[in-house]
Amino acid sequence: MAAKVIVMINNKGGVGKTTLTTNLGDGLGRLGNNVLVIDLDPQGNSSSLLSPVNPERLGMNVGDLMMADDPLIHLGKCLIEETGFKRVNLLPANLRLDIQAEEIHMKMFNASFRLKKVVDEVKDLYDFIIIDCPPRLSGVLPANALACADHVI
């Protein structure tokens, strides 16, 4: 059964998107579900909260997958990482995602559906995929999240 994709989105920062994303992921994992949190915010706060690795030290992030012709090549490099939370994995973000978003918007075919291609590749591995969006409603990153959504909070 394919994962349910939940998108956390709001046009303001500081309203609890990241807190809800990480706590919902943890709670669903504790209930026995396999969860993937996708950090789509270049600030990388979900990545920092969930991962013992500093997201700025990571060579790659979710933007690299969105830009790839074949995301499985990058997935094979273990970009999806385990977290300190039971049954919760992370697809991290870092500040480089801001620059990548502009490049995706300007140069990539089907720019608003690049993340959907990635999500479709891993949907059968998880019960829930939760996407933490940046604090805005417009732009290529929120559009990509919404293109994947089964539910929006």
- pTM over the 0.85 mark: yes
Rg (CA), the chain: 14
- What six digits make up the tokens of 5? 């994709």
- Per the CB < 8 A criterion, the answer to whether 117 and 71 are in contact is yes
Which of 22-36, 39-53, 55-69 has the largest mean confidence?
22-36
Whether the per-residue pLDDT at 104 is higher than 90: the answer is no
